[in-house]
Amino acid sequence: MAKGYWINVFRAIKDPAKVEAYRNLAGPAMQAAGAKFLVRGMPAKTYELGQMERVVVIEFDSVEKAIATHDSPGYQAALKALGDGADRDLRIVEGV
């Protein structure tokens, strides 16, 4: 079974306190689901139409596990804490 990956780009951080509250709830919810953080931070370099925006890549055992984690009560609580604190682009993709 192929792994599942979250690719999360923070397009704008509007309220760092809300982002921190989100991280404090989201991290434990993801780790409880067996998530492995592979990338967290700003790009070292961008090319073509790349944007200098914070990127997070998280590995899960499967796409189904990634989706279930997103829809879980723990992660939904993290999203509620984030509210309008950031504009994000979150994608769940299947590994090769």
Q: pLDDT at position 35, please? A: 97
Q: Structurally, how many domains does the chain consist of? A: 1
Q: pLDDT at position 79, please? A: 97
Cα–chain center distance at 76: 12
Q: Over pLDDT 70: what percentage of the chain?
A: 100
Q: pLDDT at position 67, please? A: 97
* Confidence band of 1 (pLDDT split at 50, 70, 90): confident
24, two tokens = 């404090």
Q: Which domain holds residue 73?
A: 4-44+51-94
CATH number at residue 89: 3.30.70.100
Average pLDDT over residues 13-29: 96
Average pLDDT over residues 47-62: 96
* Confidence band of 70 (pLDDT split at 50, 70, 90): very high
